[in-house]
Amino acid sequence: MFYTLFKNAIFRPIIKYLYGARVEGEQHIPTAGGVILASNHLDAGDTVVLPAMIRRQVTFPAKAELFQGNRGPFSKLVAWFLRAVGQVPLDRSGGRASLDGLAPVLEVLARGGCVGIYPEGTRSPDGRLYKGKTGVARMALAAEVPIVPVAMKNSQVTRKAGLPWIDHPVVVIGEPLDFSRYYGRVDDPRTLRWVTDQVMAAIHDLSGQTYVEAYGTSVKSGSLTPTEADARILSRPGVNTKEPELPPA
């Protein structure tokens, strides 16, 4: 109820009519059943623009810490809002804890819900597209659902008269990617990497961004310098990965 209220009464009118947003290819999103929307991540505005501009309700996994509401009144408000609009916590600590932490997301997909995820794992530090993390593949193969690639354009948040402003953002939605032949192979690193690279290649084709074969988090942390990142530019994701073989029937 709160999701529909906030979307139709506040976010959609502002984003569509004030910001001048538009969406291309929404017909590619299945109208029912579990599906993952995998998008590039330019800025904080992505998480608002995408769900406001499409008909289906989108559940975004958010950092588990945001649901605790233990850092003062504002954190309590954030935790309430996330729960009220149906978002779910995601454990991003890595390893087995992270795998177990996918349970709330898998439950949404099992109920036929639509989940939005940013495979890069962070906002782009410079507007380029960075290497995807394999969580998106693990989710799709475990839940046995298609992945729909999404490209966000012009979604950077600026200020206009002191208020948040996004100048004519565009949501471009591609055709669903079917990885059904690999369903269940959630513990095979080669399969997870290949599926993830295929997803990132589809996003790349929609967005037209320059692709860097490195994690965006490594650039943000300083462990990879801008010069080193420049040296890892490729024509598109997946050029160095081979499709994994399936066992004989």
- pLDDT at 97 (0 to 100): 42
Mean pLDDT of the region 123-138:
96
CB 237 within 8 A of CB 211: yes
Residues ≥6 apart with Cβ < 8 Å to 28: 148, 173, 174, 175, 176
- pLDDT at 96 (0 to 100): 44
Mean pLDDT of the chain: 89
Residue 113 CA to residue 29 CA, distance in Å, equals: 12
Of the listed ranges 58-67, 145-154, 208-217, the one predicted with least confidence: 58-67
Greater model confidence, 85 or 119: 119
Summarize pLDDT for 188-231 with one digit per residue, the tens: 999 999 999 999 999 999 999 999 999 999 999 999 998 999 99
Q: Please report which confidence band the pLDDT of residue 249 belongs to, taking 50, 70 and 90 as the band edges.
A: low
Residue 198 CA to residue 188 CA, distance in Å, equals: 16
| Count of C-beta atoms within a 10 Å radius of residue 188 | 15
Dihedral of CA atoms 240, 182, 195, 92 in degrees, nearest 10, equals -130
Q: Please report which confidence band the pLDDT of residue 180 belongs to, taking 50, 70 and 90 as the band edges.
A: very high
Residues ≥6 apart with Cβ < 8 Å to 216: 120, 121, 122, 123, 124, 125, 130, 131
Q: Is the pLDDT of residue 41 over 50?
A: yes
CB 74 within 8 A of CB 68: no
Mean pLDDT of the region 39-46:
94
Residue 12 CA to residue 225 CA, distance in Å, equals: 39
Summarize pLDDT for 10-29 with one digit per residue, the tens: 889 999 999 999 999 999 99
SS3 for 123?
Answer: coil
Of the listed ranges 68-72, 104-108, 164-168, 219-223, the one predicted with least confidence: 68-72
Residue 1 CA to residue 101 CA, distance in Å, equals: 26
Residue 55 CA to residue 101 CA, distance in Å, equals: 28
- pLDDT at 104 (0 to 100): 86
- pLDDT at 237 (0 to 100): 97
- pLDDT at 77 (0 to 100): 67
